[in-house]
Structure 1
Amino acid sequence: MIAEFGATAWGHAWLRTAEPTRVTRPNPLLPRARKLSRDDSVTGLTIVPGLLTATVGAHQVQITVPHWPAETLTLVATLLADLPPAAPGDLPDTLATTLHRAGVEIAPPPDSLLTQCACRDRRPHCLHVLTTLYLLVQAVDERPALAVELRGPVITGPADADWVPLGEVSVAGFYG
């Protein structure tokens, strides 16, 4: 059976942000948050380095994610540069394992996230924040590079010299 949330090592790391393993009792909001994320109740999901925003129903959610320290960004950039070419947005689970062994947290601890939601619930991880986190987990499972992009701007060096943006190709000149 394939996991619906956290199918990759990258997504699983972010799943632990929504479902921490060190809890004293189950969170009753989790089943409803998973359902809302499955039912397309989230619109306008935006992921940029250090920030995740979305609209869940009528509620605006903003989650600020701490960047990795400079030495971690350098390590990640070095490891990414050593990887063989892959599909855009894809990262091997072995890289996640390497980072974990090096003491690098792919996803930050839940209490380090700064969350804002317009709902009346005063918990930092309200239903809407949890729903957004579950949607993030699904997005990271589909495109693991998001896990790296969210933690900070990682510069991986020059682009492939043979790659040309499609918009720069002259149709008339290409086909002669």
Structure 2
Amino acid sequence: MSIMDADQQRFIDDIARLFVPWGVPLTAARLYGYLLLMPDAVDLDRISADLEISKSSASVAARLLEQYTLARRRSIRGTKRILYEVSENYEEMLGQQNRLLEALANQLLKGAEASPSDKIKARLKDMARVNLAARDAMDEMLRAMSAKRRNGNA
């Protein structure tokens, strides 16, 4: 039985509704919302009880969130027990997004070169420009965040 109150459940479900359209499986999206609410790292037993899911589903979702760099795994010395917590490494998460934006832009430009159609060339080049502009804007924001943190204004 879950110990989450109605407001916490609503928050978790609202986070999931935001992430599912981006291709994040529902269980992983709910787990991310849950981890955002947890003050400390939690084990799979607690996750499965609180979210009312199987331990194996919790494990698969947690590993997926690790791949997305949205969660991180912690082990307890001397045991096999694994804990999960939300990742606060925003720079890495956004850096991965930027690498994806750049890779997509490069593929779009290759597609433009390969296309015999002027209409498709223009479309692909425009899409590449948008991706590169988003990458540049995020890079600028990351530099500003890093500078604030270095100056103690975080």
Question: TM-score band, normalised by the shorter chain?
Answer: under 0.3
TM-score (norm: length of structure 1): 0.23
Report which of the two has the higher share of strand.
Answer: 1
Report which of the two has the higher share of helix.
Answer: 2
Larger radius of gyration: 2
Higher relative contact order (CA 8 A, sep 6+): 1
TM-score (norm: length of structure 2): 0.25
